[in-house]
Structures are given as structure tokens and as C-alpha cells.
């Protein structure tokens, strides 16, 4: 994954932020909408694209375009930087392959201890029963 090449493929759009802000909010477009076309990306290999399609399926549009919006600050430039950081961290997290689990076998002492405790509890419960009178 080449970060510089991926950042070049990002598209940005400035939109007016929602919420309170007085007179200034109607004039300034500080909210940033980041779009990334996963299907036509040249920075990612096919394996990475397939992995991202499965892991980010809820965040992708029907055309496999990822859309992120950031409106945390009043500055358009800071929001753009935050959007890039958020996007790159999202890619890093979702491109990590989980380690393969190696199955382990319980040791003989653990097996013996478990069987002993089972035997003790069964004897304890057997002693709780009322004796049969014949």
C-alpha cells in the first residue's frame, strides 16, 4: 500500500457544515467530504481491494466508492487533514490480516486435575441424596 499514491486518488468536496454557528455558518464551507473509488484504484492490488470490499461493505456505495465526512473543526484545511488521517487509519486497520490461531492441547496435569474435581463433585452430590430404605 503506497500512501502517497492513495492520497493522490482521493477526491475532496467542501460542503457547508450543519448545526449552529450564527451568520458565518451560511457563508463558509468547512465540512469536507472525502471520496475514494475502490474499484478503479491503481494504488491497491486486487487482493487488497477484495479484502476492503468485504470488511468495509457497510461503508461502501453500490459503485464501491468510500465516502467519509469530517466537520470536527471550523477550518476547512484541518478538516481535510483529519479526513486523510481517518481514511489512512481505516485502510491500515482493515488491511491487517489476523494471525492464524494455532490450536493447543491441554496438558496432562490439567486433564488429571479436571477429572479429579469432577469425581469430587459427583461424590459430594451423591452424598446429598436421601438414602434408599429397603
**What pLDDT is recorded for position 78?**
93
**What pLDDT is recorded for position 122?**
96
The Cα–Cα gap between 85 and 77 comes to 13
Rounded to 5 degrees, φ, ψ at 41 are -75, 135
Smallest CA-to-CA distance from 8 within 50, 45, 37 is with 37
Distances (CA, A) of 56 to 5, 65, 95: 20, 10, 10
Starting at the earlier edge strand, list the strands of the sheet with 65-70: 11-15, 31-37, 65-70
pTM flag (> 0.85): no
Is residue 25 scored above 70 in pLDDT?
no
Amino acid at each position: 500500500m503506497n500512501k502517497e499514491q492513495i492520497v493522490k486518488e482521493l477526491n475532496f468536496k467542501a460542503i457547508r457544515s450543519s448545526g449552529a454557528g450564527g451568520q458565518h455558518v451560511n457563508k463558509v464551507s468547512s465540512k469536507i467530504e472525502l471520496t475514494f473509488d475502490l474499484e478503479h484504484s491503481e494504488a491497491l492490488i486486487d487482493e487488497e481491494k477484495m479484502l476492503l470490499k468485504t470488511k468495509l461493505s457497510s461503508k461502501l456505495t453500490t459503485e464501491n466508492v468510500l465516502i467519509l465526512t469530517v466537520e470536527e473543526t471550523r477550518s476547512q484545511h484541518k478538516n481535510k487533514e483529519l479526513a486523510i488521517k481517518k481514511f489512512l487509519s481505516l485502510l491500515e486497520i482493515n488491511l491487517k490480516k489476523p494471525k492464524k490461531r494455532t490450536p493447543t492441547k491441554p496438558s496432562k496435569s490439567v486433564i488429571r486435575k479436571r477429572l479429579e474435581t469432577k469425581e469430587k463433585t459427583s461424590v459430594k452430590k451423591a452424598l446429598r441424596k436421601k438414602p434408599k430404605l429397603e
